Structure 1
Amino acid sequence: MAADPVGPVPSAPVPVPDLDTAPFLSALRDEQLLLQRCDACGRHRFPPMPSCPWCGAERHVFEAVAGVGQVYSFVTVHRPLTPAFADEVPYVIATVDLDVGCRIFGRLEAPDGSTPDVVRIGRRVVARFVHHADWTEVRFVGDNIGEQR
């Protein structure tokens, strides 16, 4: 058997929990979207961080939220981030304005899990959870995504 001239395909990057992100990442495994909410100003924030970017307060709580919102922006990825994603392109990454007043990023999918053909700014979406071997990812899906031409 000849040696592979390219070498093995590296695995996809796996999120590494830290003090701020551990509750968020752990909740994803339970199919729950857990966001930080500032004790001082009451605003939700993402990604998890030590202090509020709006008022500077350090005290916060993690709060379960409905992963419902609308597409603020998106990009269709045609070149994989790493070779591990080569079989998945093209895919859509969206910035979603959650109804709780926070922006979050995630892959956008059609209801059947495929890459949508058409994406619209303002499209209503809801979070869904995709379990991988070592982690869980939040993605977003909306009614009839990809069905409008």
Structure 2
Amino acid sequence: MPAKIDFTRILLPVDGSDYSMQAALAAVEMARLAKGSIVLLHCHRPVPTALGEPNFQDLTERYAREAAEMLAPFRELLVRANVPYTDKIVGGPTAEVIVEVAELEKCGVIVMGTKGKSGLESLVLGSVTHKVLHTSPCPVLVIR
């Protein structure tokens, strides 16, 4: 029997790219059909604690401002679509953060964009999408 995918709680990790916006549009449609909600996630680089003050606080505030600006069009899309959502801004290794948030938020599916790299390029660069596909606790829908 095929596994059921729960579209009532969708994790949508975004990085501000056109690929993320395409994933957001797909996630909105899925959430509408399932009468579900979206967890909007942006992951930034961790802030090194060794920076000391005031550098640590300055960098933390800069990351927060940049994330808020980057998330604005996604928030607007979700509000216009009347899809309930929460958002999270988390620092750390992107793939690991996505998987951890999916687990903690009890998401039924992750919808994410990808540039669609293949072959040697994806092996050398590593791929967040590839890592998420192999470590996710739930199904992953990749939008190109």
Q: Tell me, yes or no, whether TM beats 0.5.
A: no
* TM-score after normalising by structure 1: 0.20
* TM-score after normalising by structure 2: 0.21
Greater RCO, CA 8 A, separation 6+: 2
Structure with bigger gyration radius: 1
Which has the larger share of strand? Answer: 1
